[in-house]
Structure formats: C-alpha cells, structure tokens
Amino acid sequence: MVNKKCIIRLLRYKNALHRLNSLGFVKVFSDNLADAVGVTASQVRKDFSLFGICGNKRGGYQIEALLGKLNHILGKNEQQKVVIVGGGNIGAALMKYKGFEKEGVKIAACFDIDPAKYNHKEGDIPVLPLEQLRDFVRQNHIKIGVIAVPDIAAQQVLDLMLAAGIKGVLNFAPIRLRAASDCVINNVNLVLELETVIYFIINGLEKSIAEIHEEQKS
C-alpha cells in the first residue's frame, strides 16, 4: 500500500525536520517542508494524511511532535543493527562512513572470506570470517544485511544471510537476486546511477529527469 517512494519522502521530511529543529524552529508549514525536500506542499500533506499525521489548521506542525511521529513510523526510536558482508571497496567505505551512526544505524560487524581483512581492533567495527555470520546474526538478532561482494558471490551470500535469519538486504552487487517473498531486497547499482546521468547529458537533458528510484522486493 505505501510504497518506497513515499517512505523515502518520509525519511527526507524527518531529516529536514532535524535540521529545522536544531536551528531552533518550533513549527513548520507543509510548504516549508516541501521546499526543503523538493516536493509540493500537497504531497507533504497527502503523505502525512496517509499515516494519520495531523497538524493544526493555520498553525502548521509542531516540529518536535512531528519528529516523534515520523521516528515512530520509521522505526528510528531504537537503534538498528546491520551486518555487512564483503570488506572490499564498498564494504570498507560503508564501515568508515559516519552517516549511518548519525541516523541510528549501527554496523555491528563485517564478514569476509579473506583472512587479510579480519580485524579485531578495539573501537573498530570487527571484520570476521564469513563462517561466523550465522551465529553472529542469530546471537545479535540482526535482521538487516548489506551485500558488498562481487556479483559472482552475491546470490550465495544472500542465501547465507536468509538462512541466518536476515529479512532485509541492501544489495550493491549489480545482479538480480532471487529470494523468498518474505524478504525485502533493495538494490543500489552505482554504475547504473552514473550511466543514467550520462544518458541525460548525451541526449539533450532539456527535459526533466523525472523521478528516480529502483527497487525490487522479493
């Protein structure tokens, strides 16, 4: 019923509200949020209406209350733990990237088959042998995984993840994964994203590059 595009907008509203909040603002109007996120004010109100979020006629929305509701809907009230499989370029970049922690997403561990990548340094995110994935995921009740391995290994890694109990996957491998239907797979294909830009540059971009986002549930 609610689709991914809508959730992404909600997440953006949340981010915009955070900024406004830390700037000391107390209330917003739908058109402020619309500007901040790049959509129409109607869209903002429709999205909120879909989730039963109400503001005050003429008074806008109280930022704190609104943040609370969005955080609740988006599951941002408790920290989410994720694991990464693949300690290569992308996996390593994700581990070093500070943006996840800021949003309450904790990278609990990374798994690889290459012993040279193993790491137990205090303070760092541990990089462990792939064989330990299953136990780690079960012991820590992890439901989300990131696939950052070469495409050739991706399906196999997904199968391991699902067997371990993971239910949602962010997949960076440029390949179509097959999985049971009670599992969510969100694909991010970096090359494709860049190629899309190239297309619009080559073929007169005077047209709007309309909406973007690809996904796949499974």
Query: Footprint of a second copy on residues 59-88 (CB under 8 A)?
Result: 73-76, 80, 82
> Which listed residue (11, 12, 15, 46) binds DNA by CB under 7 A?
46
Alpha carbons 185 and 160: distance in angstroms, whole number: 14
Output the CA angle 169-38-59, nearest 5 degrees.
110
User: Structure tokens of 5?
Assistant: 């595009």
Q: Which does 53 bind (CB under 5 to 8 A by kind): a second copy, DNA, none?
A: DNA
Is the Cβ of residue 129 or residue 165 nearer to a second copy in the bound state?
165
Q: Closest distance between DNA and the C-beta of residue 16, in Å?
A: 13
195 binds a second copy per the rule CB under 8 A: yes
Residue 167 Cα distances to 20, 107, 186, 187, angstroms: 34, 16, 11, 14
Nearest to 62 by CA among 36, 107, 26: 26
Q: Does 180 bind a second copy (CB under 8 A)?
A: no
Smallest distance from a second copy to CB 117, Å: 14
Burial 39-63 (b: 16+ CB within 10 A, else e): beeebbbebbeeeebebeeeebbeb
Q: Applying CB under 7 A, which residues contact DNA?
A: 3, 5-6, 28-31, 39-43, 45-46, 48-49, 53-61, 210-211
Q: Where is the binding site for NAD(+), in residues?
A: 86-91
